[in-house]
Amino acid sequence: MNNTKAILDLAKKTIDLQSKAIGNITSLLDANFADAVNAIMEAKGRVIVTGIGKSAIIASKIVATFNSTGTPAIFMHAADAIHGDLGTVQDNDVVICISKSGNTPEIKVLVPLIKRGNNKLIGITGNTESFLAQQANFVLNTFVEKEACPNNLAPTTSTTTQLVMGDALAICLLELKGFSSTDFAKYHPGGALGKKLYLRVADIVNNNEKPQVDIDADIKEVIVEISKKMLGATAVLKENKIIGIVTDGDIRRMLNKHDSIKGLTAKDIMTTSPKTIETSVLAIKALETMQNSGISQLLAIKDNTYQGVVHLHNLINEGIL
């Protein structure tokens, strides 16, 4: 039995329901949201994000987003908080408590303890009449009419709106703090994303061989240099200045054009005015230059002095491409 259509219909219905719920919470935003953002901005401490059940998982993700965008945050499980972890909350911290109902037993125990410490409390809840909403300094309404679960039980749509509300907070804080791509790179040094933001041409070239031949070098010497350094090209120099470049492609074209290579030199087959790039430039810019020019190598320079070759394969290996 082919049930593909039924499965796709259910998937589309779920996505449609959740997308409408996200759209709806924009109409629920009020001054509480702006006040909550300002409270976090003005706080001298961190943001402690807490919740129970699926809301705790959302809280953990929101903490990760805060930390990666310049807002120091710590996750505190609501159940653990009332069994010893409440010490996580310090005097100058702001606490965000996430709960769909706002009336779970753990929340009812935890909230008064937080209030006792005079910490600002932000409630993210779908029930503005709940215990959490009544106790919070600022209430962010994430009301949903129905969960995506057909039984209206499993937290699905409600956790999606909680997550979106957390993202909205993080992005507002990011913008207000003037958090730049350079700042972002400091928090994401690993992986392809980090490398796009901080890896420079020098970081690649310094680990490569440095192929180079004199302008009068014979073809055998040129071929040996390209093969030995394994970068598919060599710089051609005259009095230590870049005059041209010889690539694998130049070698192939030479062999097609000449029956005999005897007497040929680098000068005879090189490409003049080769593309160069400063070693201080981000590696992602080197990729853009290669793609725009339809080439696989760039000669790297520093203060107009030849430093080496950066190859497209280097960028692929680093995960830039």
SS3 (DSSP) at 200: strand
Residue that has been written with the tokens 């009068």 in this structure: 216
Question: What is the H or E stretch that residue 137 is in?
Answer: none
Distance, CA of 195 to CA of 188 (rounded, Å): 8
Structural tokens at position 218: 């014979």
The tens place of each residue's pLDDT in the chain, 321 residues long, gives 579 999 999 999 999 999 999 999 999 999 999 999 999 999 999 999 999 999 999 999 999 999 988 899 999 999 999 888 899 999 999 999 999 999 999 999 999 999 998 899 999 999 999 999 999 999 999 999 999 988 888 899 999 999 999 999 999 999 999 887 667 666 665 665 666 777 899 999 999 999 999 999 999 999 999 999 999 999 999 988 999 999 999 899 998 888 788 889 999 999 998 999 999 999 889 999 999 999 999 999 999 899 999 999 998 888 876
Rounded-to-integer distance, Cα 86 and Cα 48, Å? 10
Q: Which CATH class is domain 4-179?
A: alpha beta
Gap between the Cα atoms of 271 and 2, Å rounded: 60
Backbone dihedral region for residue 293 (phi beyond 0: left; psi -120 to 50: alpha; all else: beta): alpha
Does 77 show up as a binding residue in the annotation?
Answer: yes
- Domain 201-317 is in which class? alpha beta
- pTM of the predicted structure, to 2 decimals: 0.68
Query: Measured between alpha carbons, how far is 9 from 73 in angstroms, rounded to an integer?
Result: 39
What are the residue ranges spanned by the domains of the chain? 4-179, 201-317
List phi, psi (to 5°) of 95. -110, 130
